[in-house]
């Protein structure tokens, strides 16, 4: 019966008894799947106005960063 159970979720195999490397791979997989961020977002209730305000501020920062990367550097003489 236990052999018939389907494994669901993220699986990382340990090779050559190297648990540290497997743990690093597991953490990287979790970060790529954004599971931790999703859990943190759902941990506390955030009002819809706060969500909109946070997203708008993030959009402004992204726009400002994009403009900054497109500007020419100042003359250095």
**pLDDT (tens digit, 9 = 90+) per residue, 34-76?**
888 888 889 999 999 999 999 999 999 999 999 998 888 888 7
DSSP state, 74?
A: P
**Residue 47: predicted pLDDT:** 95
Encoding tokens for residue 53? 């305000």
At 1, the pLDDT band (50, 70, 90 cuts) reads very low
Alpha-carbon dihedral sign for residues 27, 29, 31, 36: negative
19-33 pLDDT tens trace: 888 899 888 888 888
Domain ranges of the chain: 9-70
The pTM for the full model equals 0.52
Only one residue has tokens 């340990």, namely 14
């Amino acid at each position: 019966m236990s052999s018939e159970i389907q494994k669901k979720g993220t699986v990382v195999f340990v090779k050559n008894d190297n648990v540290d490397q497997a743990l690093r791979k597991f953490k990287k997989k979790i970060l790529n799947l954004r599971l931790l961020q999703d859990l943190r977002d759902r941990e506390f209730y955030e009002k819809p106005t706060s969500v909109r305000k946070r997203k708008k501020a993030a959009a402004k920062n992204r726009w400002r960063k994009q403009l900054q990367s497109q500007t020419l550097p100042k003359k250095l003489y």
